[in-house]
Structure 1
């Protein structure tokens, strides 16, 4: 079993300066290694349809892979002695990040899903570094011992679980402070095998913008709208930021771009920090709500069925602000991970027709987006639109037709649809 614990750090001013210098050097190393891969990709690729029958083929250059770039770190330390102050495994992890992001662009991840073209990291865009190996006794009392940094004070709001081993440690800089994320593993805990979804052990939920979700029993969870409640204050802070002095035009004698010394006045930097803190507060409130909602659903000990929504497509519509504020994607990820650890399933079903079909008889009852009440002329079923959809989602998750789900064994002999199970593996 793999899990992660996050703690807040209280570093000294000298430690903050040291970790900030590490991040800046690692950012430059990341951009350099990514540039090496881009140069090889542009100089050595060739479209077959564009090649003439007779052409000169230059000698191919060596492909800068993970191992060759890791070996070249010795030359980087010789040319730039400041890299000697960074722990060697932290530098190697920086190269591993380049390898991962480049391969996801060309080949995709384990599910075949490709990411966008990697971008170079600007000033302040490289915010974390990882120690791939940590000693098991690195935390003593109120301090954590980090290699080549020393003992850093941390707020240990909860103890580490017994039997878990520390695999990696990641130091992350956020707008409010520095944080330590420990990746823990216990191989002795077996993976739980969930039972097959049935009507008795499955919950259907329909996610929306009127209510955050509605279960198949009719219970609804009110949508908090954290961003819209903070929007007035965010606008005021953003107006204050827009009035501050921006980056001056480059003239002779000014430092070159990328040094971080030409980004405006000190008041502008403080205004940027205030805006960032306000957005971080909204993000933390939303995440806390998602964790509590997922925990409340899984406390019943049942599988949770939901629609497999095209959230990216919906986020490009006129409802984009409300969809981003609801954070459906983050909630479904948290729900999948929590369900797996509890030995349950998060089941994603086809969303086509869940709102239009009647949960009582299966007849199609067309409705517009503004129609919030389901009224079936065939069977007389009267339900809220979202409640009706949640029941249909549950029926699809267990693989039953509507009439068979009503405990009438001689009503229909067949099964109209089979469920599709999606359970995201935790990192």
Structure 2
């Protein structure tokens, strides 16, 4: 506890711990806030409590990270007009009456139901989100017949999954994806097709006076056009994922660093394709942890390393260097000749076949087949 010349002691005073606000202390201050801010009384009490909970979750993700250790950015203050979603953590039974829903502090609101509430399900929460084309209501339901899965438990693979029903896919910009069977899915390029219309509306926004009602109308029109592009792309991703999972039990794909790819000169095309969104949808539709009885539940989407999938030969595994503009693979070692993306898809499939989860599934299916053959009764002649 002394300095280098051993003359005077080094004393470090520890400051008192700050009384930082937490989830419970902020909830206690809500009644006082209603006195200083009278318009808070117009908001339902549980909606205000849910806002405090969202702040806590946002800071937890920023400091601790999620279950995978991935941390989010620092939470930012949201102005009143940028706060687009509020949630009722609890809602009374019988709140739905035909095409009306009774919301506390708001009253009865007319809605268009996407699908009817199934029998035996109970409405637990209701979230209202404001988007450029209107308000959306999201209901979370509870079905007590579905067993609760532990948070730490990993999703189980279907017992009847066929490890031989596997396909590799290579996403690209020439075609949206190419399978290891040689099948291709063309890329729609929704954003590029809408650029002319978006340019016209954007000019309209720029010419309007700031703060005026006409500018606000033009901004809403621009937002609706962008949402149309986003909805078309999302619908295409869901339909493509459903098509693949209806034909195969295991889908192998590359681990893509999309954040790095958008820094290149192909950024607009990469973002227009939406690879990251598609692979997320594919993985979620394959597992379907939240509803194990759903279609395609328990299938596999296996990510593999993307290193040299386009450079290595799928036949002899020798490296055949080629630049990006070369779209055909010709191997000088074994004579293999096929499309570059098709070659990459086969390499992706081969890498996935070596994964431990598929090896275990093959051993399980082989042992099951052997046991059935062993227990088959001998027929009398």
TM-score of the aligned structures, taking structure 1 as reference length: 0.74
CA contact (8 A) 2:88 2:127 kept: yes
Partner of 2:191: 227
3-state DSSP class of the match of 1:155? coil
**Match 1:113 to one of 64, 67, 70:** 70
Give 1:303's match in structure 2, choosing from 246, 250, 254. 250
- 1:198 and 1:396 map into 2 onto residues whose CA distance is 17
Q: Distance in 2 between matches of 1:162 and 1:335?
A: 29
Report deviation, 1:57. Answer: 4.4
Q: 1:390 to 1:162 in 2, by over 3 A?
A: farther
**Larger RCO (alpha carbons 8 Å, 6+ apart):** 1
Deviation at 1:293, TM superposition (A): 0.9
* Structure 1 unaligned blocks of 5 or more: 1-51, 247-263, 401-427
For residues 211-268 of structure 1, give each alpha carbon's deviation from its aligned partner in whole angstroms, at most 9, with x where no partner exists.
111111111111111100000111111111111112xxxxxxxxxxxxxxxxx11111
For 1:123 and 1:151, locate their aligned partners in 2 and report how far apart those are by CA, in whole Å: 24
Match of 1:368 in 2: 323
Give secondary structure in 2 for the equivalent of 1:362.
coil
Aligned to 1:318: 265
Correspondence for 1:65: 22
Q: CA deviation at 1:123?
A: 4.9
Across the aligned residues of Structure 1 and Structure 2, the Cα RMSD in angstroms comes to 2.1
Report 1:16-95 matches (<5 A).
53-54=10-11, 56-95=13-52
- Asked if 2 retains the 8 angstrom alpha-carbon contact of 1:199 and 1:394, the reply is no
- The alpha-carbon deviation at position 155 of structure 1 amounts to 0.7
Structure of larger gyration radius: 2
**2:182 aligned partner:** 218
- Contact 1:108/1:114 (<8 A) preserved: yes
Unaligned runs of 5+ in 2: 1-8, 150-154, 289-296, 356-381
In 1: Cα distance, 2:93 partner to 2:353 partner = 44
Q: Which residue of 2 aligns with 1:290?
A: 237
Distance 1:303 1:134, change over 3 A: farther
Please give the alpha-carbon distance, in whole angstroms, between the structure 2 residues aligned to 1:186 and 1:368: 54
Deviation (angstroms), 1:381:
1.3
Q: Find the counterpart in structure 1 of residue 342 from structure 2.
A: 387
Q: Tell me: CA distance 1:167–1:396, structure 2 relative to 1, closer, same or farther (3 Å).
A: farther
CA deviation after TM superposition for structure 1 residue 298, in Å: 1.0
Contact 2:167 2:248 in 1 (8 A): no
- Residue 58 of structure 1 deviates from its aligned partner by 4.1
SS in 1 for 2:136: strand
Distance 1:351 1:139 in 2: 49
301 and 183 in structure 1: CA distance in 2 versus 1, 3 angstrom threshold: farther
**What is the aligned counterpart of 2:170 among 184, 202, 206?**
206
> Match for 1:193 among 134, 153, 156?
156
The alpha-carbon distance between structure 1 residues 282 and 313, as it changes in their structure 2 partners (threshold 3 A), is same
Say which of 132, 136, 161 aligns to 1:175. Answer: 132
User: What is the distance in 1 between the residues matched to 2:313 and 2:162?
Assistant: 20
Of residues 399, 403, 406 in structure 1, which corresponds to 2:354? 399
Alignment length (residue pairs): 333
In structure 2, what is the equivalent of residue 127 of structure 1?
A: 84
Distance in structure 1 (CA, Å) of the matches to 2:212 and 2:13: 54
- How many Å apart are 1:339 and its aligned residue? 0.6
Deviation at 1:330, TM superposition (A): 1.2
Q: Is the partner of 1:97 in helix, strand or coil?
A: helix
